[in-house]
Structure 1
Amino acid sequence: MEVALLRTDDIQTVRSLPLFAEISESHFGALMRAAFLQRFPAQTLLIHEGDQADFLHVIVEGMVEMFSNSDGEETTIGFLEPVSTFILAAVLVEKVYLQSARTLGPSRILMIPAQAIRDVFARDPAFAGSVVRELAERYRDVVRQLKSQKMRSGLERLAAWMLERGIRRGETLEVHIPFEKAKLASFLGMTRESLSRSFAALADHDVMVRGRVITCNRSDALARLARTLGSSDSS
């Protein structure tokens, strides 16, 4: 890893995050003066489950995999892309990390000391409000993922992921898988074999898979298959 220069546009990008949008200029400046930007190569372990939270990480460039390991069995919890933060809750309450994180490609990560975040949280009501909203949104994301795991089949979860990830080009939905299919299977709670069977089953919905590129000419059929779970839940 190497310490990188924090450019003006990087600062502006971080400032535009909802978490920092309403913080006072003086407090934001204090956080940026305490922070440093680092470049990491692919497959770098950034945080380890069970360690004390010492930094709030902001992904400026690259992709990060959140994962957990127990008795030699590893599972993917999620993927984060710019511009996003992790792990705010552990930083705020001075607890250990409940998951690990590693880069999936060359990445630039802004690291803000946890104590600096807690100090500004105590002094800046606008920032404190943004933190509460951020944590509420993260909680709702967890509930959505739990509902998907409990209420959808593996095939339905794959279809939902494709709809969320895909880019529409006219009538065609195109999805690029930016990591190994094994990681996608783990994230969706499937085995590699069941993921392969699900891709084969999607051929009936006009889905074609070529390597890591998926195309679908019937996104409406894919949406019906995904059984969109109501976003108007009470969580």
Structure 2
Amino acid sequence: MRDLTLFRSLGDEAFAQLMDAAYLQRFPPGVVLISENERADFLHVVVEGTVEMFATSHGRETTIELIRPVGLFLLAAVLKDQIYLQSARTLAKSQLLLIPAEKVRMAMERELPFMRAIVMELASDYRSTIRDLKSLKLRTSAERLANWLLRAEAEQGGSGQIELPCEKRTLAARLGMTPENLSRAFASLSAYGVQSKGSIVAISDLSRLSDFAAPDPLIDERDPS
């Protein structure tokens, strides 16, 4: 937990109090952890596995974000003591730390460095949201997929091979497209060295794919943690 920017500046005593009140729990895949419109009772920290943030409206559903270790979600709802605007479910066997929302708010009021860290965390979330919106509105489906593949390839060791962290329908929703559009996007990227088979994607020509994707630092470069 000390690796998270949010907790680095928290005093030892205050950090210990938060951890003493927290619960470390394991969940199998497919478990809905929280539902939108519920009151925020806990701050959730993903220690192992993958959690999908999603939302529904009038029978439609979309993926908003994938949270992997060590990451937290829905901090704003915890701080404001309001309802969740998203739902969350496990995509794989996962271990989560649940910190009571009230304890987080108390620590924020008492620890000025913690309050500063919270402000920075929320600012980082806002900037990430703007980057996602720019990618969604300024790029074609194939361009969004190409840039996602480049980031995933680098994050997974730069071997030219990617293991998808979720089902393709979930990836499609995360990138703002239908499963059919994702299939067409993969097909169009075959001309740039991308081959997809099941959950494995191989990239034989990273340079050519990068030329097509044209990564933009104002969209694709993430703020340092």
Equivalent in the alignment of 1:145: 132
The answer as to 2:173 corresponding to 1:224 is no
Which deviations, in whole Å up to 9, do the C-alpha atoms of 1:36-88 show, x marking residues without a partner? Answer: 11111111111101111110000011100000011111100010100001111
Equivalent in the alignment of 2:61: 74
CA distance in 1, matches of 2:185, 2:119: 38
Alignment of 1:151-230 (within 5 A): 151-167=138-154, 173-230=160-217
SS in 1 for 2:85: coil
Offset, 1:170? 9.5
Offset, 1:172? 5.0
Alignment of 1:1-235 (within 5 A): 14-167=1-154, 173-231=160-218
Which deviations, in whole Å up to 9, do the C-alpha atoms of 1:162-198 show, x marking residues without a partner? Answer: 0111148998521111211111111111111111111
Distance 1:105 1:168, change over 3 A: closer
Query: How many positions carry a matched residue from both structures?
Result: 221
TM-score with structure 1 length normalisation? 0.89
Q: Runs of at least 4 residues of structure 1 off by over 2 A?
A: 167-172, 229-233
Q: Superposition RMSD on alpha carbons, in Å? A: 1.9
Q: Which runs of 5+ in 1 are unaligned?
A: 1-13
Distance 1:47 1:27, change over 3 A: same
Q: Which runs of 5+ in 2 are unaligned?
A: none
Distance 1:49 1:154, change over 3 A: same
TM-score with structure 2 length normalisation? 0.93
Distance 1:83 1:115, change over 3 A: same
Distance 1:204 1:70, change over 3 A: same
